[in-house]
Amino acid sequence: MYRPREWMHRKRRGRPEAEGRRAAQYEGAGLQVPAPPVWMRWLPAIYVAVILVIEPITPVQWPVSFLLIALPVVAAYAHGPATVAAITVFAVGFEAILAGTPCCAGRSVGYVGDRHYVATYISTTLVGVLGAILAAHRMRRERTLATVRSVAETAQRVLLRPVPHRLGQVCVETLYLSAAAEARIGGDLYEAVPTAYGVRLLIGDVRGKGLVAVETAATMLGAFREAAHDEPDLAAVARRVERSMTRRAAQLPGSEVAERFVTAVFAEIPDKAPVVRIVNCGHPPPLLIGRDGTVTELNSTDPSLPLNLGVLFGDEYHADERPFRPGDLLLLYTDGVTETRDRTGEFYPLPERVRQWAALPPRELLDHLHEDLLAYSGARLYDDTAALAACRLPSDTGGRCETADGDCPAE
């Protein structure tokens, strides 16, 4: 299984990005296609080596060289049709050598033309033709999948535009890890908007995947970007987004409406008050990482239903207010983080892990989270993962939200 595709809005800082697979580029197409694992590319050679080891130690009447008939199919898993054809020619020639090699196989040269060996040559050739066809079909599918993935990544980049690293007195960093199988784009989303009421944040997770999820996420992000500037109250922002989602759902076939609900957290960091206001709509609770290293789950006192369900159950939203002082950090995330599992099936213990990095600035904290998630899951993420870290900048310089290498650039 290949490693999940990793894409996120982040600064590279000159260090190489960890990748668990090599990529092969189709000439003229500019499409990156995952190359097969190294062991698979070497599998034909390993297969031949095993036959060479077994052949001298088996009785003459057991011609192990017949196993070479399968060699073209083995090669078709990782190589193109031209390579498969070359390996087929090699297999036929190698069968003839083994058939008439007195010193190694114990057979006279006369065996080369024996009808059984002739049948082997013909069978190997036919299998080689089939293997070349299979290899060509596999490569066509890989190119098609690469095209779809390229379109998917482009659509997702347009949807999740880069968030500025500095919004007033708030430092913001984001992380996105996509584990989309067969390029089925996930519905994780985030946004940060500076407004007259402070910096307003959003993170959400659309139910389902594919174009339905992307369309729903686009509707929600568009509504939030408008409402964040217009509504003075954070709960009113959530209600307005809910109404936009409901109007959009009314235009869809009835079977699709229930598939488009969204869990989300809205947050507001006022410019002057040392607080953070949060509206939680059925989403995992944010984490407040204090300047003193404490980690607190901000559970809602009156949680709301996921968005797009208001038409069924009402659209009452309540905003909780918590202290958020200079140097504190707010971590918003999707359930792809907490539902990551290790090889034993244990869920990722986010609060416990974050305590180790509580003193780090936002970018470094998300970098550690990124690497730890891949290590914890064995590089097998089965759900998209998004996270947003916001830190209120201290009045003095040198705080944990700003670093000497420009973690959060000055305005």
Task: Encode pLDDT of 290-318 as tens digits.
Answer: 999 999 999 999 888 898 886 566 668 99
Query: Global pTM?
Result: 0.69
Q: What is the mean pLDDT of residues 183-206?
A: 87
pLDDT value for 96: 84
Task: Give the chain's mean pLDDT.
Answer: 81
Q: What is the mean pLDDT of residues 376-404?
A: 77
Under 8 Å between Cβ of 335 and 205: yes
CA dihedral (122, 123, 129, 135) positive or negative: negative
Share of the chain above pLDDT 90, in %: 50
Q: With 90 as the cut, is the pLDDT of residue 263 above it?
A: yes
Q: What is the mean pLDDT of residues 65-91?
A: 93
Residue with the bigger pLDDT between 27 and 282: it is: 282
Q: With 60 as the cut, is the pLDDT of residue 361 above it?
A: yes
Residue with the bigger pLDDT between 350 and 13: it is: 350
Place of tokens 């470094």: 364
Residue 71: pLDDT band (50, 70, 90) is: very high
With 0-12 / 13-18 / 19 or more C-beta atoms within 10 angstroms meaning exposed / middle / buried, residue 77 is middle
Q: How many helices (H) and strands (E) does the chain have?
A: 12, 13
The DSSP secondary-structure symbol of 191 reads E
Place of tokens 């199919």: 73
Q: With 80 as the cut, is the pLDDT of residue 258 above it?
A: no
The DSSP secondary-structure symbol of 55 reads G
Listed in order, strand segments (DSSP E) in 163-319 are: 166-167, 170-177, 188-195, 198-206, 262-269, 275-281, 287-289, 295-297
Taking Cα atoms as reference points, which of 8, 11, 16, 17 lies closest to residue 405? 11
Distance CA 12, CA 408 (A): 14
Share of the chain above pLDDT 70, in %: 77
Q: What is the mean pLDDT of residues 258-267?
A: 83
